[in-house]
Amino acid sequence: MTVDGGVSRPARPAARPVGRVDPDRIPQATVARLAVYLRVLTEMLAQGVRTVSSDVLAAAAGVNAAKLRKDLSHIGSSGVRGVGYDVSRLTEQVESVLGLTRSHAVALVGVGNLGHALAGYGGFAQRGFGVAALFDVDPALVGTTIGGVEVLDVAEIPRVCASKGVTIGVIATPAGAAQQVCDALVGAGVPSILNFAPAVLSVPTGVEVRKVDLAVEMQILAFHVSRHDGRAAADGREATGKVFG
Amino acid sequence: MTVDGGVSRPARPAARPVGRVDPDRIPQATVARLAVYLRVLTEMLAQGVRTVSSDVLAAAAGVNAAKLRKDLSHIGSSGVRGVGYDVSRLTEQVESVLGLTRSHAVALVGVGNLGHALAGYGGFAQRGFGVAALFDVDPALVGTTIGGVEVLDVAEIPRVCASKGVTIGVIATPAGAAQQVCDALVGAGVPSILNFAPAVLSVPTGVEVRKVDLAVEMQILAFHVSRHDGRAAADGREATGKVFG
DNA sequence: CTCTGTGAACCTGTTCACAGCT
DNA sequence: AGCTGTGAACAGGTTCACAGAG
């Protein structure tokens, strides 16, 4: 799962910067789902779908329709009653809310097994997430090139991240190095970090950390395997059915 | 982040299989954190720490102490008041609850960029998660060996998964192939799936799916970058330290 | 005294159900 | 009619604060 980062909420309204929609009011859970909706919307747009109802969009995104409508209400969406949402317009709105109208320079630290794969993975290239820099401690890796980007020494993190205006740092180092790397990124002004290392990071208030932890995911599944076995006898193992109500 | 999978809750208690602790009563959120506690506990055990208080353990795991105590109360833990928890005993309890006392055969489908890295990643080897089988569609990859395990054709999924008793399937294919692969795994009796493909999977009731979606994580961070920038002007951009009280 | 375990308050997010627009 | 947007009820999880064990 994902651990929540340490983003500060403003203690008081303190002169709210009221624009069209106040992002501070958008629930965390909604933000996470907006990204999923966006993927579905993009597919629909590619297929020439002009309009979509909350029922259809929700089914495609794997959520319930009421939740989707509430999510969209948070971003000030305007669907048309009796018709649905304009796919193109909604796509733009979601992109705008997620901050995808600008590009984001990504720095990836640790190009070992996993990091190397991530550097080449399509996920980064999409949607304006450009790999601006790669770093590693290993002298054998420093100087090599992955996907056209040269691997630099971690000592360069402060200088390079600051000068390239890196906004997202990805940590794919062993656990032992993670906090140190994190500190370097934060020191260079990187406001958001995606951490693949199995370590708890501490960061100053205002820096957002998200964690992707393979071992944790596996263990959660292991828990459910135990559950499944226990229940198998009672359930009688039905093959294919509804996913949810 | 991680999107929650489609696990069915039993509609009724239906003759509860009451053992020491009823796993149905353990909150999802608690299960996810238990895996984190386990990692910290394992490190402490290795360092020879005998006893730990909820304060210390919570700090190391990055959660608040009351939450940790409540989590542990769900697994029927017995700390000693005025002293703390016995590290060794607590470790065993957590392992037991997570179903880590048995080993789990893992099948990984898709050994491209990411899948290849995952196959070699340490995360699987640890804690009894053995890679029992690898699959791919690409004839150029079928027959090769990764980490001592041969890559088989996806057509073999039903036979091999069933015969090896695979309990956890990992999908690291492109989005387009994910549902089909998922169906094959489910058909072979695999009860838990970890999905790295950017696709919504539908599965029968009782099958647990967890999703790790790189693009979604990046977009959530992008949202926070926008937030961060908007607030920077007012805050005066202080590099490291408290933002407010 | 220290530290756990837990009732109760609280808060966030989900679901329901329907008013109201087209 | 169909479908959105939303108040209100609900559920799940978090935090508080303290009784009580050692």
What is the structure's pLDDT at B232? Answer: 56
Supply the pLDDT for residue B227.
87
Are the beta carbons of A151 and A142 closer than 8 angstroms? yes
CA-nearest of A173, A127, A51 to B221 is: A127
**Higher pLDDT residue, B73 or B13?**
B73
Can you list the domains of chain B with their CATH numbers?
21-97 (1.10.10.10), 104-216 (3.40.50.720)
Region B42-71: mean pLDDT is 98
Q: CB within 8 A of B60, min separation 6: which ones?
A: A200, B40, B44
What are the C-alpha distances in Å from A150 to residues A21, A46, A112, A119, B113?
40, 34, 14, 11, 19
- In this structure, the number of other CB atoms found within 10 A of the CB of residue B7 comes to 18
Kindly list the residues from chain B whose CB atom is less than 8 angstroms away from the CB atom of residue A201. 62
Residue of B nearest to A226 (CA): B99
Residue A77: alpha-carbon gap to chain centroid:
22
State residue A121's pLDDT score: 79
Q: A147: which DSSP letter? A: T
Residue A189 identity (one-letter amino acid)? G
User: Is the pLDDT confidence value at B156 over 50?
Assistant: yes
Query: Which residue, chain included where needed, has tokens 């032992």?
Result: A176
Report CB contact under 8 Å: B215, A127.
yes
> What is each CA distance from B87 to A114, A216, B45, B79, in whole angstroms?
31, 19, 7, 10
Q: What is the Cα gyration radius of chain A? A: 21
Residue B113 is assigned to a ligand binding site: yes
**Per-position pLDDT tens, chain A of length 245:** 333 333 333 333 333 333 456 667 899 999 999 999 999 999 999 999 999 999 999 999 999 999 999 999 999 988 999 999 999 999 999 999 999 999 999 999 999 999 999 998 766 777 889 999 999 999 999 999 999 999 999 999 999 999 999 999 999 999 999 999 999 999 999 999 999 999 999 999 999 999 999 999 999 999 999 988 766 544 443 333 333 22
- The reported pLDDT for the residue numbered A77 is 82
Q: Which nucleotide is nearest to B30 (CA to C1')?
A: D13
Residues in chain B: 245
Per-residue model confidence as pLDDT tens digits over B87-128: 999 999 999 999 999 999 999 999 999 999 999 877 677 788
Contact predicate A194/A212, CB 8 Å: yes
Provide the pLDDT for residue B126.
Answer: 76
CA of B220 to C1' of C3 (A): 38
Share of chain B above pLDDT 70, in %: 84
- Report CA(B51)–C1'(D21) in Å, whole number: 17
Mean confidence (pLDDT) of chain B: 87
* Highest mean pLDDT of the ranges A231-245, B3-17, B65-79: B65-79
φ, ψ at B22 (rounded to 5°): -85, 110
Q: Assess A29–B contact: CB distance below 8 Å, yes or no.
A: no
User: pLDDT value at position A81?
Assistant: 96
Instruction: Name the binding residues of A for NAD(+).
Output: 110-115
To probe the interface with B, which of A208, A220, A228, A231 has the most B CB atoms within 10 Å?
A220
Non-local (6+) Cβ contacts of A202 within 8 A are A6, A179, B62
For B:140-159, CB contacts with A below 8 A are none
The set of strand D positions with any atom below 7 Å of a protein CB reads 1-7, 12-17, 20-22
> How many other C-beta atoms can be found within 10 angstroms of the C-beta atom of residue A128?
17
CB A85 within 8 A of CB A56: no
Q: How do residues B178-189 score in pLDDT, each as one tens digit?
A: 999 999 999 999
Whole-number pLDDT of residue A229 = 78
pLDDT-based confidence at residue B228 (cuts at 50, 70, 90): confident
Residue B121 confidence (pLDDT): 79
Is A8 near chain B, with CB under 8 Å?
A: yes
Shortest CA distance to A185 belongs to which of A205, A168, A163?
A: A168
Q: What is the DSSP string of B55-88?
A: HHHHHHHTS-HHHHHHHHHHTT---BTTTBEEHH
Is B47 within 8 Å of chain A by CB? no
Indicate if the pLDDT at residue B238 is higher than 70: no
Greater pLDDT, A3 or B66: B66
- How far is the C-alpha of B188 from the C-alpha of B183, rounded, in Å? 9
Q: Identify the pLDDT of residue B231.
A: 61
